[in-house]
């Protein structure tokens, strides 16, 4: 069949086309994009600024230094900076959950079947969803950082622009893991209610059982156990090490390792499960 | 290349171990023909198409498309087929042209070739003027034509059409048939389609398989199938309250007489010739014919004959229902 020769194909063909299809829906709709930015602004502006935790510490008692207490508790003198980083992780978490939704839509509207009948590899179909969610979250996280800076985020002593790359790297790993997880959980469902319920079940506990708003060491033991296995905690910590703390390189390396392993395992499970389901 | 483009042997799909959607079907589709699967919703048409286009794995039996086994050589099958799905799968937020290029990317067609082909196809389905408009603004007929173009971007040897005119109004439907015929002529493809519209199967298909509860009940050209019923149907009523079945039976060309609800349903080989003879024979005996109608058999009568019922809409899953509703809504350009 000579005609097929100019259909030069690699195993990965179609990945950019499918990823871009997802991204287009988002960047072609500026209103949707702006709406998705409002939430982190509200959280940061209202919660981050209203909870002036350092003001709780009395200043008239000798020997009690608010700055030292804040440093000891949050690792930084400024609570807003601490929770702003939590917002970056939260943005990533909420953005990736849509990757699960979009596969349900594709199924219901027949697009999934259409793609399945083309020579695009099953793994590429899944991975394009993961990739688009990751790219989207990273972009939104970048915006959140800018907003946080505008609100007065205080960078750590050894911050350099290179650290921003590190932030994107860890967010990429987290998003790959999370969106694979959401896709694997929702790929079997044919209705919108199921993924919605799953997201709600996972998202809020995952956010609060992490160090997004409060350091783990002050939580009760049983809660700390959850915080310690939650990849979001490690991501938050890595971003804090890079942006606002005096970087502890050993801790940073451990954060990257943990999130990297999480991403690798979940992505593998997610892709294998989805693949098996798609070729039933 | 073999004469038989599609061939199935005992093809079966059982869902969840007990729901038999497709039950040991055997058929073959010849090079260059339009082969139709006709049956009510839920008869197993879409399941069959999904197996042939390698989306579903058969539970039992096998099938091949252009000699490639659908289970073992699925990648080869995907390269030579095109699909026009029941749903409107084009992305609403993208333009017609962007949608076509997206389809081309899925086949790994290089950008230059894709642009050329897209331009040709858009011309063929008369969407060139609308190529830079968002699909959102398209009417049902236009969307359907865009789906047709998408299904052809990889120059398939076999094109699968799943309910190609679902939800379209009669005029748009007839126009869509014209496009399908034109595309077939242009590309010399083999077409496999499913439909639950009797007129569609009649107007478009070279051969039809009637499918009911996952089984093929009869296969043949629409002409053959209608002829096999033994001619035309005459319905007649008389004023007198007496059984004249035997009298009618004796008239030339009459093959079968049945009395139903005070009327006589008569099967006759050449209805238009038999009818005057019947009236004549009755009048001679002093009976008055009050009403007479002559119908040439349609596929509905064929369907009725082989399944014992009229085409009915079976219970559907929530999912199928939803996608059907969306399709219908978009077909109306909503």
Paired residues of B292 in beta bridges: B236
The structure tokens 């058929």 sit at: B27
B310 pLDDT band, cuts 50/70/90, is low
Helix, strand, or coil here: B250?
Answer: coil
- Average pLDDT value for residue range B240-264: 85
Residue B66: pLDDT over 90: yes
Facing B106 at nearest CB: one of A3, A6, A115 = A115
For the residues A91-112, what does the mean pLDDT come to? 85
Q: Is B326 within a domain?
A: yes
Cβ(B190)–Cβ(B113) under 8 Å?
no
Contact: B83, A16; criterion CB under 8 Å: no
At A7 the pLDDT is 45
What token pair was written down for A106? 């594709």
Taking the Cβ of residue A32 and every Cβ of chain B, the question of whether any pair is shorter than 8 Å is answered with: no
Q: Tell me the CATH number at B51.
A: 3.40.50.300
**Residue predicted with more confidence, B315 or A279:** A279
| B280 and B150 part of one domain | no
pLDDT band at B251 (very low <50, low <70, confident <90, very high): confident
Interchain contact, B57 vs A280, CB within 8 Å: yes
Domain span including residue B239: 230-296
Give the model's pLDDT for residue B69: 96
Please tell me the predicted confidence (pLDDT) of residue B312. Answer: 47
Burial class (CB in 10 A: 0-12, 13-18, 19+), A119: buried
In a domain, B264, yes or no: yes
Structural domain count of chain B: 2
Sign for the CA dihedral angle at A26, A23, A188, A94 comes to negative
Residues B156 and B288 in one domain: no
What is the distance between the alpha carbons of residues B298 and A275, in angstroms, rounded to a whole number?
Answer: 45
**What percentage of chain A reaches a pLDDT higher than 90?**
28
CA distance A251 to chain B (A): 43
CA distance to partner chain A, nearest, from residue B79 (Å): 6
Taking only residues 8 to 47 of chain B, the set having a beta carbon closer than 8 angstroms to any beta carbon of chain A reads none
Residue of B nearest to A105 (CA): B323
B304 falls within a domain:
no
Q: What is the pLDDT of residues B230-239, one digit of tens each?
A: 788 888 888 8
Evaluate whether A25 touches A134 at the Cβ level (below 8 Å): no
What strands, in cross-sheet order, belong to the sheet with B68-69?
B19-30, B4-15, B60-65, B68-69
The b-or-e profile of A5-43 (16+ CB within 10 A means b, else e) is eebebeeebbbebbbbbbbbbbeeeeeeeeebeeebbeb
Among A6-15, B101-110, B237-246, which range has the highest average pLDDT? B101-110
Query: What's the CA gap between B268 and B283, in Å, rounded?
Result: 19
* Weakest-pLDDT range from A96-105, B43-52, B99-108: A96-105
Same domain, B206 and B320: yes
Residue B192 lies in a domain: yes
For chain A, what percent of residues have pLDDT higher than 70?
Answer: 95
Distances, alpha carbon A226 to alpha carbons A38, A204, A252, B10, in Å? 29, 13, 20, 54
pLDDT of residue B215: 94
The answer on pLDDT for B108 being more than 60 is: yes
Please report the DSSP string for A115-163 in residue order. Answer: HHTSS--HHHHHHHHHHHHHHHHHHHHHHHHHHHHHHTPPPPTT--HHH
The SS3 call for residue B46 is: helix
Q: Is the pLDDT of residue B106 over 80?
A: yes
pLDDT at B320: 63
CB contact under 8 A, A6 and B326: no
Residue B305 within any structural domain of the chain: no
Instruction: For residue A54, count other CB atoms closer than 10 A to its CB.
Output: 17
Q: Please report whether residue B303 resides in a domain.
A: no
Helix then strand then coil, in percent of chain A rounded to 5, is 75, 0, 25
A122 near B CB under 8 A:
no
Residues B110, B143, single domain; the answer is yes
Higher-confidence residue of B165 and A50: namely: B165
Residues B61 and B80 in one domain: yes
pLDDT at B331: 66
Q: Mean pLDDT for chain A?
A: 84
pLDDT over threshold 50, residue A125: yes
CATH number of the domain residue B252 falls in: 3.30.70.100
In whole angstroms, give the CA distance from residue B134 to residue A239.
41
If pLDDT is split at 50, 70 and 90, which confidence band does A193 have? confident
Q: State whether residue A12 sits within 8 Å of chain B by CB.
A: no
pLDDT band at residue B1 using 50, 70 and 90 as cut-offs = very low
> B85 to chain A: which residues are within 8 Å by CB?
110, 113-114
**Using the beta-carbon criterion (under 8 Å), do A110 and B113 form an inter-chain contact?**
no
Residue of chain B nearest A125, judged by CA positions:
B106
Among residues B56, B52, B57, B13, the alpha carbon closest in space to that of B35 is found at B52
CA distance A114 to chain B (A): 7
Count of A–B CB contacts within 8 Å? 95
pLDDT of residue B313: 43
Please state, rounded to an integer, the average pLDDT across all residues of chain B: 88
What is the C-alpha to C-alpha distance for residues B103 and B152, in angstroms, rounded to an integer? 9
**Mean of pLDDT values over A59-81:** 78
- Domain co-membership, B176 together with B121: yes
* Same domain, yes or no: B221 and B242: no
B221 and B273 fall within a common domain: no
Least confident of A206-210, B257-261, B328-332: B328-332
> Is residue B73 included in any domain, yes or no?
yes
Which tokens hold the place of B124?
A: 């063929």
Residues B142 and B279 in one domain: no
Tell if the pTM clears 0.90, that is, is over it.
no
Q: Is residue B81 in a domain? A: yes
Query: Would you place residue A195 in the very low, low, confident or very high pLDDT band (cuts 50, 70, 90)?
Result: confident
| Strand-pair category, B254-260 with B289-295 | unpaired
Average pLDDT over residues B210-216: 92
CA distance between the termini of chain B: 44
In this model, does residue A42 exceed pLDDT 70? yes
Whether B208 and B247 share a structural domain: no
The bridge status of strand B34-38 relative to strand B207-212 is parallel
Find, among B159, B102, B37, B176, the residue nearest to A111 by Cα.
Answer: B102
A248 has a pLDDT exceeding 50: yes
Beta strands, E only, A67-121:
none
Q: Closest-CA residue in chain B for A8?
A: B108
Q: How many CB atoms lie within 10 A of CB B242?
A: 10
**A125–chain B Cβ distance below 8 A for any pair:** no
Of the candidates A25, A28, A111, the beta carbon closest to that of B89 is on A111
Are B252 and B146 in a shared domain? no
pLDDT grade for A1, boundaries at 50, 70 and 90: very low
**Pair B166, B235 in one domain:** no
């Amino acid at each position: 069949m000579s005609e097929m020769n100019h259909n030069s194909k690699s195993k990965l063909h179609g990945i950019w086309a499918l990823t871009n299809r997802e991204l287009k829906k988002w960047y072609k709709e500026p209103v949707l994009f702006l709406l998705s930015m409002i939430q982190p602004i509200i959280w940061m502006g209202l919660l981050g600024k209203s909870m002036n935790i350092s003001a709780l510490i009395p200043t008239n008692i000798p020997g009690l230094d608010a700055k030292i207490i804040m440093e000891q508790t949050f690792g930084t003198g400024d609570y807003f900076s601490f929770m702003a980083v939590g917002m970056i992780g939260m943005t990533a978490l909420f953005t990736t959950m849509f990757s699960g939704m979009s596969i349900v839509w594709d199924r219901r509207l027949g697009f999934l079947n259409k793609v399945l009948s083309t020579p695009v590899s099953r793994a590429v179909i899944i991975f394009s969803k993961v990739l688009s969610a990751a790219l989207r979250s990273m972009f939104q996280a970048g915006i959140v950082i800018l907003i946080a800076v505008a609100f007065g985020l205080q960078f750590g002593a050894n911050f350099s622009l290179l650290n921003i790359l590190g932030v994107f790297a860890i967010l990429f790993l987290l998003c790959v893991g999370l969106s694979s997880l959401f896709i694997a959980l929702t790929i079997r469902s044919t209705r919108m209610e199921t993924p919605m319920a799953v997201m709600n079940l996972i998202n809020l506990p995952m956010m609060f059982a992490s160090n997004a708003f409060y350091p783990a060491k002050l939580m009760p033991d049983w809660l700390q156990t959850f915080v310690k296995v939650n990849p979001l905690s490690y991501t938050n910590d890595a971003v804090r090490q890079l942006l606002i703390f005096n970087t502890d390189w050993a801790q940073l390396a451990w954060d990257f390792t943990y999130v990297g392993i999480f991403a690798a395992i979940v992505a593998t499970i997610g892709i294998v499960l989805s693949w098996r389901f798609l070729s039933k | 290349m073999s004469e038989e483009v599609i061939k199935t042997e005992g093809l079966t799909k059982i869902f969840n171990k007990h729901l038999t959607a497709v039950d040991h079907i055997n058929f073959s589709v010849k090079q260059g023909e339009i082969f139709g699967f006709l049956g009510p919703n839920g008869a197993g048409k879409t399941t069959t198409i999904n197996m042939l286009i390698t989306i579903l794995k058969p539970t039992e039996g096998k099938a091949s498309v252009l000699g490639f086994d659908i289970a073992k050589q699925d990648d080869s099958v995907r390269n030579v087929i095109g699909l026009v799905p029941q749903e409107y799968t084009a992305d609403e937020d993208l333009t017609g042209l962007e949608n076509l290029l997206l389809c081309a990317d899925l086949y790994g067609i290089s950008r230059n070739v894709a642009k050329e082909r897209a331009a040709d196809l858009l011309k063929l389905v008369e969407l060139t003027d609308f190529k830079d408009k968002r699909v959102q603004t398209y009417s049902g007929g236009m969307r359907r034509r865009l789906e047709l173009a998408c299904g052809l971007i990889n120059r398939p040897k076999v094109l699968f059409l799943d309910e190609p005119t679902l939800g379209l109004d009669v005029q748009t439907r007839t126009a869509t048939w014209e496009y399908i015929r034109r595309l077939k002529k242009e590309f010399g493809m083999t077409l496999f389609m499913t439909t639950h519209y009797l007129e569609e199967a009649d107007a478009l298909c070279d051969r039809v398989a009637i499918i009911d509860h996952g089984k093929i009940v009869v296969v043949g050209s629409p002409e053959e199938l209608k002829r096999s019923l033994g001619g035309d149907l005459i319905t007649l009523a008389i004023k007198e309250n007496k059984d004249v079945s035997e009298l009618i039976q004796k008239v030339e060309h009459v093959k079968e007489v049945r009395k139903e609800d005070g009327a006589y349903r008569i099967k006759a080989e050449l209805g238009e010739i038999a009818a005057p003879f019947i009236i004549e024979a009755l009048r001679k005996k002093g009976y008055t014919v009050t009403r007479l109608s002559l119908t040439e058999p349609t596929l509905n009568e064929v369907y009725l004959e082989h399944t014992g019922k009229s085409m009915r809409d079976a219970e559907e899953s929530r999912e199928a229902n939803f996608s059907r509703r969306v399709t219908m809504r978009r077909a109306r350009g909503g």
